[in-house]
Amino acid sequence: MSDAQRQDAAARGDFETALADSDLLEIRVWLRLLTCTNLVERRIRRNLRADFEITLPRFDLLAQLQRAPEGLTMGALSRRLMVSNGNVTGLIERLAGEGLVERQAIPGDRRTQVVRLTAAGERALVKMLPIHHRWVAAMFAGLDRDEMTTLLNLLARLKLSLADDGGATDGDRI
């Protein structure tokens, strides 16, 4: 790729294409994954806002609760959503105020609450899910089933590789 092509790719936000062939393959793969993730997330956020007037974090929280009809604690929601407890608390307060979720204290533990979808929350999510699934299917339409299976398997191997990092923490350097 020429320098002009790399500069054009970088200007479009296509940073992994803008790298030289001599750059580390690992960096190029990481940036390609990041670019794909950002593109999918941006489109889902835009569509949720336009079609349902809901944010992606709120949608994700409702979807997590639907998968756990018995409800989830705030801590479990935080882990599943990969956000801080404070973020979950704010989301829950707003969704509870709209009647989409309910909180219930656990007997004998005043600090822990279980959060569940309300009937209204379930109805709202049931309207969104088929449309959300169509958006995702459309974004992956350029891949056939075998390619998606291969990609899923490769990403599973990458995930295992990342999880098997010898206990490294964010502050560790390789």
Residue-wise pLDDT tens digits, 107-159: 887 788 899 999 999 999 999 999 999 999 999 999 999 999 999 999 999 99
Q: Where are the domains of the chain?
A: 1-52, 54-163
pLDDT of residue 109: 78
Q: What is the mean pLDDT of residues 25-47?
A: 93
Question: In angstroms, rounded to a whole number, what is the distance separating the alpha carbons of residues 157 and 92?
Answer: 34
Cα separation, 32 vs 39, in Å, equals: 11
Return the ∠ at Cα 125 (arms to 40 and 116), rounded to 5°: 115
In this prediction, residue 167 has a pLDDT band, given cuts at 50, 70 and 90, of low
Q: How far apart are CA 56 and CA 40, in angstroms?
A: 12
CATH class of 54-163: mainly alpha
Q: What is the mean pLDDT of residues 82-104?
A: 93
Helix (H, G, I), strand (E, B) or coil at 62: helix
Query: Please, which pLDDT band fits residue 174 given cuts at 50, 70 and 90?
Result: very low
